[in-house]
Amino acid sequence: MKMKKFLALTCAAAMVFGLTACGSAAADTTATDTAADTTTETTDAAESTDTTEEAQAPAEASADLSGTISMAGSTSMEKLANAVAESFMAKYPGVTVTAEFTGSSAGIEAVTAGSVDIGNSSRALKDEEKAAGAVENIVAIDGIAVVVDPSNTVAGLTKDQLISVYKGEIKNWSELGGEDAPIVVIGREAGSGTRGAFEEILGLEDACAYASELDSTGAVIAKVAATPGAIGYVSLDALDDTVKALTLDDVEATAENIKAGNYFLSRPFVMATKGEISEQSEAVQELFKYLASDEGKQVISGVGLITVD
């Protein structure tokens, strides 16, 4: 009997331990998955540039360029800055690109103070920042689509309506000209770049009343597609046919409209410099040339952003 109890105890302890381990393992996997996703994207981008680089390398003699480029600024631009830094350094092994993520305003301050070469900002520069010597170089545009389930009869929202919906003031689609169905407000988790951009553009920082906070773009699309009356937001490049994108202020969510500046749920990604690009160091000038090249554009669209011409 004693032996049996001992066995039971051992098994029981092993099981509880196993379960706990399962819980934490699950957490770990998700974390690493996300990390892996980002790296895959970046390496993808890097790989694609590698191939083109090989073709052009003899003509350009890129190895000659050397120096350092320091960036600081927007946390939303972390993915873009890292991807650009990585692929640029792969192309020009002599150049070191460092990136810090301190926030848009801090980045612009740093560049006007001359402590970094490039200040990353995920918003347009203010007039006083331009007066202080910062030059606005828009390298990419971040666009967000508002999606609903395909059977929803509402075709579009105004900015004010969208804000009211996400604040929880409008709770039924009938108030927006749709069917009598409650609105299920879906968003991303705190810390997500898409959520940050969405709330920042609408002036809703941490004021949203979410019914569901999901931890990936795919999950938002799946949930919206499966839930009648749901509304969600996703990065524009993730849009697919399972959900319906709403027009905002009667403007469709397309890359063209965003480039033309008609679609309000978008923001520029600015790499600000102190003075014009032509006044910068050779390495920095080359970086901007690189961003405007086809390879650079591949990197930009590789992280889900819209390129500028």
Partner 1 sequence: MNKQQTFSIMGNRKNKSAVEEIAQVIFTLCAFLAILAVISITVYMVINGTPALFQVGIREILFGTVWKPTAENPSFGILYVILTSIIGTALAVLLGVPIGILTAVFLAETAPRKLAALVKPAVELLAGIPSVVYGLLGLMILNPLMYKLELAIFKGSDTHQFTGGANLLSAVIVLAIMILPTVINISESAIRAVHPSLKSASLALGASHIQTIFKVILPAAKSGIITAIVLGVGRAIGEAMAITLVSGSSVNMPLPFNSVRFLTTAIVAEMGYASGLHRQVLFTIGLVLFVFIMIINITLNSILKKGEREDA
First-to-final CA distance of the chain: 80
Residue 242: CB minimum distance to partner 1, A = 14
Q: How many CB atoms lie within 10 A of CB 242?
A: 13
Q: How many CB atoms lie within 10 A of CB 104?
A: 24
Residue 237: CB minimum distance to partner 1, A = 18
3 state DSSP class of 252: coil
Residue 57: CB minimum distance to partner 1, A = 36
Residue 200: CB minimum distance to partner 1, A = 11
> CB under 8 Å to 5, separation ≥6 — which residues?
none
Q: What share of the chain is helix, strand, coil (3-state, %, to 5)?
A: 50, 20, 30
Identify which of residues 31 and 57 has a Cβ nearer to partner 1 in the complex. Answer: 31
Identify which of residues 244 and 274 has a Cβ nearer to partner 1 in the complex. Answer: 244
Identify which of residues 117 and 199 has a Cβ nearer to partner 1 in the complex. Answer: 199
Report whether 81 contacts 140 (CB < 8 A). no
Residue 307: CB minimum distance to partner 1, A = 24
Identify which of residues 33 and 294 has a Cβ nearer to partner 1 in the complex. Answer: 33
Hey, what amino acid is at 307?
Answer: T
Name the site residues for partner 1 (rule: CB under 8 A). 1-2, 4-5, 8-9, 12-13, 15-17, 19-20, 22-24, 26-27, 30-31, 34-35, 75, 168, 171, 182-186, 189-193, 196, 205-206, 209-215, 223, 226-230
Report whether 251 contacts 157 (CB < 8 A). no
Identify which of residues 212 and 262 has a Cβ nearer to partner 1 in the complex. Answer: 212
Output phi, psi for 296, to 5 deg.
-60, -40
